[in-house]
A = this chain, B = another copy of it.
Amino acid sequence: MEDQAALARDDHGQIIFDVLAQACPSRETMEHITSRWGILALIALSEGTYRFNALRRRVSGVSEKMLAQTLQALERDGMVHREAQVTIPPKVEYSLTPLGREAARHLYGLIEWLEGEMPSVMDARAAHDRSRAGA
């Protein structure tokens, strides 16, 4: 309640979302989708539906705990859909919602660009380290 009072609002009482503002709820969601594992989970799920452990293998390096935590946050934010069959052994399928697909599309653009520019980044790093070592 106090948090809401702190949020910036327009003439019609609607919240003005601004990631540069400390109290804005968009910061939290931004962190969910741009966190280390958030990005990778969204990108992997943009390839299609995955079961929990299949997704874990696709996103190489993620621990079970972090993947579960990440997926729960993304599910709550309406980015990821979770469908569980309470059979034995359990079967849980994860997929993107329309919102999640949009997020993944933006992230994919960033990733494609970065992967293409990585040689420039590596060059910049080498140059930086050289000038540091010389000084």
Contact = CB atoms under 8 A, between A and B. Distances in A.
Interface of A: 1, 3-4, 15, 17-22, 25-26, 29-31, 33-36, 39-40, 43-44, 57-61, 75-78, 99, 102-103, 106-107, 109-111, 113-125, 127-129
The DSSP consensus for interface residues of chain A is: helix
24 contacts: A1-B57, A3-B61, A17-B114, A17-B116, A19-B115, A20-B40, A20-B44, A20-B58, A20-B60, A22-B60, A25-B122, A26-B115, A29-B118, A30-B39, A30-B111, A34-B110, A78-B127, A78-B128, A99-B117, A99-B120, A102-B113, A102-B117, A103-B114, A106-B110
Contacts of A59: 20
Given A30-B39, A106-B110, A125-B78, A18 B58 contact: no
Contacts of A111: 19, 26, 30
